[in-house]
């Protein structure tokens, strides 16, 4: 099957075209008595080009599988669901334009997607202005469900606070309390650095340097050549996407990875798979793992089916980003069904606080105080060569951190967000 990112697309009726769409792996409008059934349109906005393109593609794939699952069950509100996709180009201004187009021109009843926190924040603001529910699948910044929260926005991925507090204490215990940070210079990176600053303060350590690198940097030599002189216990890399790949490749070529331990809040499988084996090292968080022994030892059939179908469809396992897309789309469509309406307030209130089970162990919910999804985080070390059974299996999961230990409290969430609905 041909693999491609979804592009902005209209699906039309007719048996031949419906068959072609199904063959391509996309949902189609289902004819009824010779007439088209009006679809329920979900606007998908992701970074399909640039440094985060691989991550946006994975999120989109997960969304696609969840949407197809609902369509196979008969759709939502008696209608088949269509995803109309746009490339936000990792640009906050473009993202606002695309959000408005999806809602105003394409008549989408909700928005889903984003990787960059800056893009997620701008899309969240646009969705609030448009009175449209937005499922932020991959923008991590605390502000999204903190001081910049909106009743229309729900955050699937972990906040930066959760990312850093899930493994920061373990980093200090394993390697020491003198850290050198390389940080992407925008909302996501700044929020991660603040989270680690809180951890290092609590353990009585020191951040000896926090180098800010512009998003899309290709040459990290300016930063890496300074690391040895600072004599840190550990190099903490906060970059993501292609920036992570370039940082790790160059750190390896400079010999740093052989001298200094490396760690960070999370390593994305998309980036690890793109690295040469010599640069696949370190201790990292991961937001979901397809080989988590607890999940797959628990008989979680939804997780098993998701992994199996994803591998069959795309020729590789699902990543954490794939899980964001799947869980986000699944809950969004559930909420429309539960609310029995496309009214955004009703849909938002259906989502908020409702417990559910998904492709991990235990109950989760979007916390009503701030609309952050409460779920666990995983930590592990890197297996450079994968395993003999599965070359993609490059993370050896060593612990799972429950939600209640890594997120801010509900009381603090209320103070940070102050969420309210329109009268």
Predicted confidence (pLDDT) per residue in 189-242, tens digit: 999 999 999 999 999 999 999 999 999 999 999 999 999 999 999 999 999 999
**Mean pLDDT of all residues belonging to the chain:** 91
Q: Which range has the worst mean pLDDT, 97-101, 396-400, 407-411?
A: 396-400
- Phi, psi of 256, deg, nearest 5: -65, -40
Domain boundaries, the chain: 15-158+300-372, 161-286+377-406
Identify the band that residue 10 occupies on the pLDDT scale cut at 50, 70 and 90: very low
**How is residue 332 written in tokens?**
């969004």
How does pLDDT run across 45-99, given as a tens digit for each residue? 999 999 899 999 999 999 999 999 999 999 999 999 999 999 999 999 999 999 9
Contact 348, 363 (CB under 8 A): no
Residues 403 and 78: their CA atoms lie apart, in Å, by 35
- Phi, psi of 56, deg, nearest 5: -60, -40
pLDDT of residue 25: 40
| Percentage of residues in the chain having pLDDT higher than 70 | 91
| Percentage of residues in the chain having pLDDT higher than 90 | 87
Same fold, 15-158+300-372 and 161-286+377-406: yes
CATH class of 15-158+300-372: alpha beta
Residues 99 and 118: their CA atoms lie apart, in Å, by 14
Residues 361 and 374: their CA atoms lie apart, in Å, by 12
CATH fold of 161-286+377-406? Rossmann fold (3.40.50)
How does pLDDT run across 303-333, given as a tens digit for each residue? 999 999 999 999 999 999 999 999 999 999 9
**Half-sphere exposure for 411 (CA within 13 Å, toward CB):** 0
Residues 274 and 246: their CA atoms lie apart, in Å, by 10
pLDDT of residue 36: 55
């Amino acid at each position: 099957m041909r693999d491609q990112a979804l592009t902005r697309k209209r699906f039309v009726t007719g048996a031949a075209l419906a068959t072609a769409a199904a063959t391509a792996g996309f949902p189609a409008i289902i004819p009824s008595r010779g007439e088209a059934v009006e679809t329920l349109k979900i606007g998908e906005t992701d970074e399909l080009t640039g440094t985060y393109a691989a991550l946006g593609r994975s999120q989109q794939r997960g969304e696609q599988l969840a949407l197809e699952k609902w369509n196979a069950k008969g759709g939502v509100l008696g209608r088949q669901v269509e995803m109309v996709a746009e490339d936000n180009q990792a640009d906050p201004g473009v993202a606002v334009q695309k959000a408005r187009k999806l809602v105003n021109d394409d008549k989408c009843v909700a928005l889903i997607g984003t990787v960059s926190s800056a893009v997620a924040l701008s899309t969240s603001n646009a969705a609030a202005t448009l009175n449209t529910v937005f499922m932020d699948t991959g923008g991590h910044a605390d502000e999204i469900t903190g001081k910049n929260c909106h009743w229309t926005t729900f955050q699937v991925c972990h906040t930066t606070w959760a990312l850093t507090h899930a493994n920061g204490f373990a980093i200090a215990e394993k390697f020491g309390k003198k850290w050198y940070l390389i940080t992407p210079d925008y909302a996501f990176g700044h929020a991660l650095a603040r989270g680690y600053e809180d951890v290092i303060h609590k353990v009585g350590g020191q951040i000896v340097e926090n180098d800010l690198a512009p998003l899309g940097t290709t040459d990290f030599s300016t930063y890496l050549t300074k690391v040895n002189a600072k004599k840190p216990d550990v190099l903490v890399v906060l970059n993501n996407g292609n920036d992570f790949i370039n940082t790790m490749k160059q750190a390896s070529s400079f010999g740093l990875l052989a001298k200094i331990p490396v760690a960070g809040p999370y390593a994305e499988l998309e980036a690890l798979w793109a690295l040469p084996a010599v640069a696949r090292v370190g201790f990292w968080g991961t937001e979901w793992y397809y080989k988590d022994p607890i999940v797959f030892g628990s008989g979680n059939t939804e997780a098993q089916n998701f992994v199996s179908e994803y591998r069959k469809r795309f020729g590789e396992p699902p990543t954490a980003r794939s899980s964001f897309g799947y869980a986000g789309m699944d809950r969004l469509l559930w909420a429309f069904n539960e609310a029995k309406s496309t009214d955004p307030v009703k849909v938002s209130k259906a989502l908020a606080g409702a417990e559910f089970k998904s492709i991990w162990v235990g109950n989760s919910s979007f916390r009503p105080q701030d609309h952050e999804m409460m779920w666990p985080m995983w930590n592990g070390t890197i297996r450079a060569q994968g395993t003999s059974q599965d070359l993609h299996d490059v993370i050896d999961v060593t612990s799972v951190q429950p939600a209640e230990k890594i997120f801010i409290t509900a009381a603090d969430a209320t103070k940070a967000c102050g969420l309210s609905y329109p009268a």
